[in-house]
Amino acid sequence: MIFHKLGLKGSQNFSINQRGFTLIELLIVVVILSSLATLVLPNFSNSVAVSQNSAVNQNVKIVQAALDRFHASQGFYPGPSNWGSICKGFNRNFYASTKGELLRNRLTMYTDSNGVVCDSRIASDGKKYLYGPYLHKDLPINPIKKSSEVQVVANESILSDPKFGWRYNYSSGEFTATKN
């Protein structure tokens, strides 16, 4: 019955003139498409690398600006001389155990003129912390290394550690990305 509606009788076979693509024609199409794919995919992966580098450079500028604001208000860059100082009543959930966390606290919390950090503008003893926060969000993640960990160094002669996303030199105040 369905054959009748299609204009076919019973189990009539298709004629020889009604044929599909040959194997050669299909192979030519596959070769052409794969050639186009080899041209497009490297450009796509290159654009991903370019966008990651752009994001890294933007994040470095943001954190470097925060460090420069800290330096402008304090007269020094965050470093070991003021890392152990916290206000009275400081919330211990924010207490840092690494140098990178200490740097994060100095940039994302309030400080006094000596660089003492506090998690609120006014400490439990009434002392005011008038400076900061210099960075309104946490330290960004390095999109290439997939890490927000900071290697803190005293000078440039120390080699970069690849497990860190960022590198901070507290002597010069320079903040850079770890790309290797």
Burial 45-77, CB ≥16 within 10 A → b, else e: eeeeeeeeeebbeebbebbeebbebbeeebeeb
Q: Are 123 and 95 in contact (CB under 8 A)?
A: no
Instruction: Domain ranges for the chain, please list them.
Output: 57-177
**Contacts of the segment 57-63: beta carbons below 8 A, 24+ positions apart:** 57/177, 59/140, 59/142, 59/143, 59/177, 60/175, 60/176, 60/177, 62/135, 62/140, 63/107, 63/135, 63/139, 63/140, 63/166, 63/175
Which pLDDT belongs to residue 94? 58
pLDDT per residue over 143-166, tens digit each?
989 999 999 998 877 777 888 999
Quick one: average pLDDT of 79-102? 75
pLDDT per residue over 51-76, tens digit each?
889 999 999 999 999 999 999 998 99
Which pLDDT belongs to residue 3? 47
pTM of the model: 0.72
Quick one: average pLDDT of 18-28? 85
